[in-house]
Amino acid sequence: MKKRAFWVVIGGFCLLMYACKKEDQIKEAVSTFLGFQKPANFSEPVYKLENNKVTEAGFLLGRSLFYEPRLSRNNTISCGSCHIQSSGFTQHGHDVSHGIDDLLGTRNSPPIMNLAWNSAFMWGGGIYDLDLQPIAPITTHVEMDETLDNVMAKLRLVAKYPTMFKAAFGTEEINTARFMKALSQFMVMCISANSKYDKVMRKEAGQSFTADEQAGYALFQAKCSNCHKEPLFTDGSFRNNGLAPSPINDMGLYTATLQETDRYKFKVPSLRNLTYTAPYMHDGRFLTLNGVFDHYNGEVQQTANLDPLLQQNGKRGISLTADDRVKLTAFLKTLDDADFVTRKDLAEQ
Protein backbone atom coordinates (compact mmCIF):
# COMPACT_ATOMS: atom_id res chain seq x y z
CA MET A 1 0.00 0.00 0.00
CA LYS A 2 2.83 2.38 0.85
CA LYS A 3 4.46 1.72 -2.52
CA ARG A 4 1.20 2.34 -4.31
CA ALA A 5 0.65 5.53 -2.35
CA PHE A 6 4.16 6.65 -3.29
CA TRP A 7 3.45 6.29 -7.00
CA VAL A 8 0.10 8.03 -6.64
CA VAL A 9 1.89 10.97 -5.02
CA ILE A 10 4.56 10.97 -7.73
CA GLY A 11 1.90 10.80 -10.44
CA GLY A 12 -0.01 13.67 -8.88
CA PHE A 13 3.18 15.72 -8.64
CA CYS A 14 3.93 15.10 -12.31
CA LEU A 15 0.42 16.15 -13.30
CA LEU A 16 0.77 19.28 -11.20
CA MET A 17 4.13 20.10 -12.81
CA TYR A 18 2.65 19.51 -16.29
CA ALA A 19 -0.30 21.77 -15.49
CA CYS A 20 2.02 24.47 -14.20
CA LYS A 21 4.22 24.20 -17.27
CA LYS A 22 1.16 24.39 -19.52
CA GLU A 23 -0.07 27.43 -17.62
CA ASP A 24 3.35 29.07 -17.94
CA GLN A 25 3.29 28.44 -21.71
CA ILE A 26 -0.13 30.03 -21.97
CA LYS A 27 0.99 33.03 -19.93
CA GLU A 28 4.10 33.35 -22.10
CA ALA A 29 2.00 33.24 -25.27
CA VAL A 30 -0.29 35.92 -23.87
CA SER A 31 2.59 38.08 -22.76
CA THR A 32 4.12 38.09 -26.26
CA PHE A 33 1.09 39.87 -27.77
CA LEU A 34 2.40 43.34 -28.50
CA GLY A 35 -0.60 44.82 -30.25
CA PHE A 36 -0.17 46.96 -33.35
CA GLN A 37 3.48 47.47 -34.24
CA LYS A 38 4.45 49.87 -37.05
CA PRO A 39 7.17 48.38 -39.28
CA ALA A 40 10.35 50.46 -39.14
CA ASN A 41 10.26 51.22 -42.88
CA PHE A 42 6.56 52.26 -42.92
CA SER A 43 5.00 55.67 -42.32
CA GLU A 44 2.47 56.32 -39.55
CA PRO A 45 -0.86 54.56 -40.18
CA VAL A 46 -3.91 56.55 -41.21
CA TYR A 47 -6.31 54.34 -39.24
CA LYS A 48 -7.16 56.08 -35.96
CA LEU A 49 -5.80 53.51 -33.54
CA GLU A 50 -6.45 55.85 -30.62
CA ASN A 51 -10.18 55.29 -31.22
CA ASN A 52 -9.84 51.50 -31.38
CA LYS A 53 -6.70 50.33 -29.65
CA VAL A 54 -5.75 46.78 -30.61
CA THR A 55 -5.88 44.51 -27.57
CA GLU A 56 -5.33 40.79 -27.44
CA ALA A 57 -8.98 40.14 -26.56
CA GLY A 58 -10.17 42.44 -29.35
CA PHE A 59 -7.83 40.82 -31.88
CA LEU A 60 -8.95 37.31 -30.89
CA LEU A 61 -12.59 38.33 -31.17
CA GLY A 62 -11.95 39.93 -34.56
CA ARG A 63 -10.19 36.82 -35.80
CA SER A 64 -13.08 34.62 -34.71
CA LEU A 65 -15.55 36.93 -36.47
CA PHE A 66 -13.40 37.07 -39.62
CA TYR A 67 -13.72 33.29 -39.96
CA GLU A 68 -17.36 33.17 -38.79
CA PRO A 69 -19.76 31.77 -41.46
CA ARG A 70 -22.78 33.08 -39.50
CA LEU A 71 -22.05 36.44 -41.11
CA SER A 72 -23.77 35.09 -44.24
CA ARG A 73 -27.46 34.40 -44.84
CA ASN A 74 -27.13 30.60 -44.91
CA ASN A 75 -24.13 30.36 -42.54
CA THR A 76 -21.73 29.13 -45.22
CA ILE A 77 -19.58 32.12 -46.19
CA SER A 78 -17.11 33.93 -43.94
CA CYS A 79 -14.74 36.80 -44.68
CA GLY A 80 -12.04 34.14 -44.83
CA SER A 81 -13.88 32.33 -47.64
CA CYS A 82 -12.93 35.07 -50.12
CA HIS A 83 -9.80 36.27 -48.33
CA ILE A 84 -7.65 33.16 -47.88
CA GLN A 85 -4.42 33.61 -45.94
CA SER A 86 -2.28 31.29 -48.07
CA SER A 87 -3.32 33.36 -51.10
CA GLY A 88 -2.34 36.67 -49.54
CA PHE A 89 -5.91 37.01 -48.21
CA THR A 90 -7.39 36.92 -51.71
CA GLN A 91 -9.52 34.26 -53.41
CA HIS A 92 -6.73 32.71 -55.45
CA GLY A 93 -7.57 31.29 -58.85
CA HIS A 94 -10.93 33.08 -59.18
CA ASP A 95 -11.17 36.00 -61.58
CA VAL A 96 -14.12 37.40 -59.60
CA SER A 97 -15.32 36.55 -56.11
CA HIS A 98 -17.54 33.52 -55.45
CA GLY A 99 -20.07 34.21 -52.71
CA ILE A 100 -23.19 32.69 -51.21
CA ASP A 101 -24.87 29.91 -53.22
CA ASP A 102 -21.74 30.08 -55.42
CA LEU A 103 -22.99 33.33 -56.95
CA LEU A 104 -20.41 35.33 -58.87
CA GLY A 105 -19.43 38.85 -57.98
CA THR A 106 -18.18 41.40 -60.47
CA ARG A 107 -14.69 42.06 -59.10
CA ASN A 108 -11.62 40.18 -57.92
CA SER A 109 -11.27 39.81 -54.13
CA PRO A 110 -8.71 42.41 -53.01
CA PRO A 111 -6.13 41.36 -50.41
CA ILE A 112 -6.58 42.08 -46.70
CA MET A 113 -3.15 43.61 -46.22
CA ASN A 114 -1.70 46.77 -44.65
CA LEU A 115 -5.19 48.25 -44.36
CA ALA A 116 -4.15 50.53 -41.50
CA TRP A 117 -2.42 52.65 -44.16
CA ASN A 118 -5.47 52.78 -46.46
CA SER A 119 -7.86 55.72 -46.55
CA ALA A 120 -10.20 54.24 -49.21
CA PHE A 121 -11.46 50.72 -49.72
CA MET A 122 -12.89 48.53 -52.48
CA TRP A 123 -11.80 48.53 -56.12
CA GLY A 124 -14.43 51.15 -56.93
CA GLY A 125 -14.22 53.24 -53.77
CA GLY A 126 -17.26 54.50 -51.90
CA ILE A 127 -16.02 53.40 -48.45
CA TYR A 128 -13.51 55.52 -46.56
CA ASP A 129 -13.57 54.02 -43.06
CA LEU A 130 -12.24 50.56 -42.29
CA ASP A 131 -14.78 50.21 -39.46
CA LEU A 132 -17.58 50.44 -42.05
CA GLN A 133 -16.02 48.35 -44.82
CA PRO A 134 -17.46 44.93 -43.76
CA ILE A 135 -21.01 46.23 -44.26
CA ALA A 136 -20.60 45.97 -48.04
CA PRO A 137 -19.72 42.27 -48.32
CA ILE A 138 -22.13 41.26 -45.55
CA THR A 139 -25.12 42.92 -47.21
CA THR A 140 -24.26 42.45 -50.89
CA HIS A 141 -26.59 39.93 -52.57
CA VAL A 142 -23.83 37.96 -54.33
CA GLU A 143 -21.45 37.91 -51.36
CA MET A 144 -22.98 37.21 -47.93
CA ASP A 145 -26.55 38.44 -48.55
CA GLU A 146 -27.30 39.04 -44.87
CA THR A 147 -28.43 41.94 -42.67
CA LEU A 148 -26.48 43.31 -39.76
CA ASP A 149 -29.46 42.83 -37.45
CA ASN A 150 -29.57 39.12 -38.32
CA VAL A 151 -25.83 38.79 -37.83
CA MET A 152 -26.03 40.33 -34.35
CA ALA A 153 -28.97 38.06 -33.45
CA LYS A 154 -27.09 34.95 -34.55
CA LEU A 155 -23.93 35.91 -32.67
CA ARG A 156 -25.89 36.43 -29.46
CA LEU A 157 -26.96 32.78 -29.62
CA VAL A 158 -23.38 31.48 -29.75
CA ALA A 159 -22.12 30.78 -26.23
CA LYS A 160 -18.55 32.02 -26.74
CA TYR A 161 -19.37 35.46 -28.11
CA PRO A 162 -20.84 37.26 -25.07
CA THR A 163 -17.72 36.19 -23.14
CA MET A 164 -15.40 37.31 -25.94
CA PHE A 165 -17.16 40.66 -26.32
CA LYS A 166 -16.90 41.24 -22.57
CA ALA A 167 -13.17 40.47 -22.63
CA ALA A 168 -12.67 42.85 -25.55
CA PHE A 169 -15.02 45.69 -24.66
CA GLY A 170 -16.01 45.24 -21.00
CA THR A 171 -19.59 44.24 -21.71
CA GLU A 172 -21.36 41.15 -23.02
CA GLU A 173 -23.60 43.32 -25.17
CA ILE A 174 -23.12 42.50 -28.84
CA ASN A 175 -23.81 45.41 -31.14
CA THR A 176 -22.78 46.59 -34.58
CA ALA A 177 -20.24 49.17 -33.44
CA ARG A 178 -18.28 46.68 -31.30
CA PHE A 179 -18.59 44.02 -33.99
CA MET A 180 -17.05 46.38 -36.57
CA LYS A 181 -14.27 47.51 -34.23
CA ALA A 182 -13.33 43.91 -33.46
CA LEU A 183 -13.07 43.07 -37.16
CA SER A 184 -10.91 46.15 -37.66
CA GLN A 185 -8.60 45.07 -34.84
CA PHE A 186 -7.96 41.83 -36.69
CA MET A 187 -7.60 43.42 -40.11
CA VAL A 188 -5.13 46.12 -39.06
CA MET A 189 -2.93 43.35 -37.68
CA CYS A 190 -2.71 41.78 -41.16
CA ILE A 191 0.59 43.54 -41.81
CA SER A 192 2.84 42.41 -44.63
CA ALA A 193 6.27 43.93 -44.04
CA ASN A 194 8.73 41.08 -43.87
CA SER A 195 9.60 40.43 -47.50
CA LYS A 196 13.13 40.44 -48.83
CA TYR A 197 12.55 44.01 -50.02
CA ASP A 198 11.66 45.08 -46.46
CA LYS A 199 14.71 43.37 -45.02
CA VAL A 200 16.98 45.07 -47.56
CA MET A 201 15.37 48.47 -46.87
CA ARG A 202 15.86 47.96 -43.12
CA LYS A 203 19.48 46.99 -43.80
CA GLU A 204 19.12 43.72 -41.93
CA ALA A 205 22.27 41.60 -41.71
CA GLY A 206 23.07 39.56 -44.80
CA GLN A 207 20.25 41.02 -46.91
CA SER A 208 20.94 42.45 -50.35
CA PHE A 209 19.45 42.36 -53.83
CA THR A 210 20.91 40.20 -56.58
CA ALA A 211 22.07 41.95 -59.76
CA ASP A 212 18.76 41.20 -61.53
CA GLU A 213 16.72 42.29 -58.50
CA GLN A 214 18.67 45.55 -58.27
CA ALA A 215 18.24 46.18 -62.00
CA GLY A 216 14.53 45.40 -61.65
CA TYR A 217 14.28 47.84 -58.74
CA ALA A 218 15.77 50.57 -60.92
CA LEU A 219 13.26 49.77 -63.68
CA PHE A 220 10.43 49.79 -61.16
CA GLN A 221 11.48 53.21 -59.87
CA ALA A 222 11.67 54.57 -63.41
CA LYS A 223 8.50 53.05 -64.85
CA CYS A 224 6.09 52.08 -62.04
CA SER A 225 6.75 54.02 -58.84
CA ASN A 226 4.55 57.03 -59.62
CA CYS A 227 1.45 54.94 -58.91
CA HIS A 228 2.91 52.08 -56.86
CA LYS A 229 4.69 54.11 -54.20
CA GLU A 230 6.99 52.47 -51.68
CA PRO A 231 6.75 50.94 -49.17
CA LEU A 232 3.07 50.02 -49.61
CA PHE A 233 3.52 49.79 -53.39
CA THR A 234 0.34 51.74 -53.97
CA ASP A 235 -0.41 55.42 -53.63
CA GLY A 236 -3.99 54.61 -52.67
CA SER A 237 -5.40 56.60 -55.57
CA PHE A 238 -7.98 55.68 -58.21
CA ARG A 239 -6.75 55.68 -61.81
CA ASN A 240 -7.74 54.54 -65.28
CA ASN A 241 -4.91 52.29 -66.45
CA GLY A 242 -6.29 51.79 -69.94
CA LEU A 243 -8.02 48.43 -69.58
CA ALA A 244 -10.61 47.71 -72.22
CA PRO A 245 -14.07 47.95 -70.58
CA SER A 246 -15.27 44.61 -69.22
CA PRO A 247 -18.34 42.84 -70.66
CA ILE A 248 -20.46 44.32 -67.85
CA ASN A 249 -18.93 47.77 -68.48
CA ASP A 250 -17.79 48.24 -64.86
CA MET A 251 -17.00 51.94 -64.57
CA GLY A 252 -15.21 51.73 -61.24
CA LEU A 253 -15.13 54.84 -59.05
CA TYR A 254 -17.87 56.45 -61.16
CA THR A 255 -20.43 54.05 -59.68
CA ALA A 256 -19.73 55.57 -56.24
CA THR A 257 -19.30 59.25 -57.17
CA LEU A 258 -21.29 59.68 -60.43
CA GLN A 259 -18.58 62.11 -61.49
CA GLU A 260 -17.76 61.92 -65.21
CA THR A 261 -14.08 62.36 -64.44
CA ASP A 262 -14.15 59.10 -62.43
CA ARG A 263 -15.29 56.78 -65.22
CA TYR A 264 -13.12 53.64 -65.46
CA LYS A 265 -10.97 54.59 -62.50
CA PHE A 266 -10.09 51.76 -60.10
CA LYS A 267 -8.00 51.71 -56.97
CA VAL A 268 -4.28 51.23 -57.56
CA PRO A 269 -3.46 47.81 -56.05
CA SER A 270 -0.39 47.02 -54.03
CA LEU A 271 2.31 45.00 -55.79
CA ARG A 272 3.14 43.08 -52.63
CA ASN A 273 2.71 39.29 -52.60
CA LEU A 274 1.94 38.98 -56.32
CA THR A 275 3.13 35.37 -56.30
CA TYR A 276 0.19 34.50 -54.04
CA THR A 277 -2.56 36.78 -55.35
CA ALA A 278 -3.10 35.98 -59.05
CA PRO A 279 -5.15 36.68 -61.12
CA TYR A 280 -4.66 40.41 -61.49
CA MET A 281 -6.68 43.60 -62.10
CA HIS A 282 -10.08 44.53 -60.68
CA ASP A 283 -11.79 41.75 -62.64
CA GLY A 284 -8.97 39.20 -62.54
CA ARG A 285 -8.57 39.25 -66.31
CA PHE A 286 -4.84 38.54 -66.32
CA LEU A 287 -3.68 35.17 -65.02
CA THR A 288 0.03 35.96 -65.09
CA LEU A 289 2.42 38.87 -64.71
CA ASN A 290 3.28 38.52 -68.39
CA GLY A 291 -0.35 39.28 -69.15
CA VAL A 292 0.00 42.46 -67.10
CA PHE A 293 3.24 43.36 -68.89
CA ASP A 294 1.57 42.75 -72.27
CA HIS A 295 -1.19 45.16 -71.32
CA TYR A 296 1.12 48.00 -70.34
CA ASN A 297 3.50 47.37 -73.23
CA GLY A 298 0.97 47.45 -76.07
CA GLU A 299 -2.68 47.05 -75.06
CA VAL A 300 -3.51 50.27 -73.19
CA GLN A 301 -6.82 51.64 -74.52
CA GLN A 302 -7.69 55.29 -75.08
CA THR A 303 -10.69 55.17 -72.77
CA ALA A 304 -12.27 58.09 -70.93
CA ASN A 305 -10.01 59.54 -68.22
CA LEU A 306 -6.96 57.49 -69.20
CA ASP A 307 -4.25 58.38 -66.71
CA PRO A 308 -1.84 61.01 -68.11
CA LEU A 309 1.13 58.94 -66.94
CA LEU A 310 0.16 56.33 -69.54
CA GLN A 311 0.03 58.74 -72.46
CA GLN A 312 3.30 60.59 -72.66
CA ASN A 313 5.35 61.68 -75.65
CA GLY A 314 2.55 60.73 -78.01
CA LYS A 315 2.58 57.08 -76.91
CA ARG A 316 0.27 55.04 -74.71
CA GLY A 317 1.47 52.57 -72.12
CA ILE A 318 4.87 51.62 -70.73
CA SER A 319 7.60 50.26 -72.98
CA LEU A 320 8.94 46.95 -71.68
CA THR A 321 11.55 44.80 -73.38
CA ALA A 322 11.90 41.08 -72.77
CA ASP A 323 14.91 41.82 -70.56
CA ASP A 324 12.94 44.46 -68.66
CA ARG A 325 10.28 41.86 -67.88
CA VAL A 326 12.81 39.39 -66.51
CA LYS A 327 14.39 41.96 -64.23
CA LEU A 328 11.09 43.49 -63.11
CA THR A 329 9.80 40.03 -62.25
CA ALA A 330 12.95 39.36 -60.21
CA PHE A 331 12.36 42.54 -58.22
CA LEU A 332 8.64 41.99 -57.77
CA LYS A 333 9.33 38.60 -56.25
CA THR A 334 11.30 40.34 -53.50
CA LEU A 335 7.92 41.75 -52.37
CA ASP A 336 6.64 38.27 -51.51
CA ASP A 337 6.21 37.86 -47.75
CA ALA A 338 6.21 34.17 -46.88
CA ASP A 339 5.76 34.95 -43.18
CA PHE A 340 2.54 36.85 -43.87
CA VAL A 341 0.83 33.96 -45.63
CA THR A 342 1.83 31.44 -42.94
CA ARG A 343 1.49 33.40 -39.67
CA LYS A 344 -0.41 31.17 -37.26
CA ASP A 345 -1.93 34.09 -35.37
CA LEU A 346 -3.77 35.18 -38.53
CA ALA A 347 -4.99 31.69 -39.42
CA GLU A 348 -8.39 30.22 -38.71
CA GLN A 349 -8.24 28.51 -35.33
Q: Which residues are annotated as a binding site for heme c?
A: 79, 82-83, 224, 227-228
What single string gives the DSSP state of each residue in 65-89? HHT-GGGSTTS---HHHHSBGGGTS
Collect all residues with Cβ–Cβ distance below 8 Å to 135 and sequence separation of at least 6.
Answer: 127, 148, 180
Q: Give CA–CA dist 240/253, Å, rounded.
A: 10
Q: Give CA–CA dist 251/297, Å, rounded.
A: 23
Rounded to 5°, the CA angle 323-328-333 comes to 130
Collect all residues with Cβ–Cβ distance below 8 Å to 301 and sequence separation of at least 6.
Answer: 242, 243, 244, 316
Q: How far is CA 84 from CA 40, 100, 263, in A?
A: 26, 16, 30
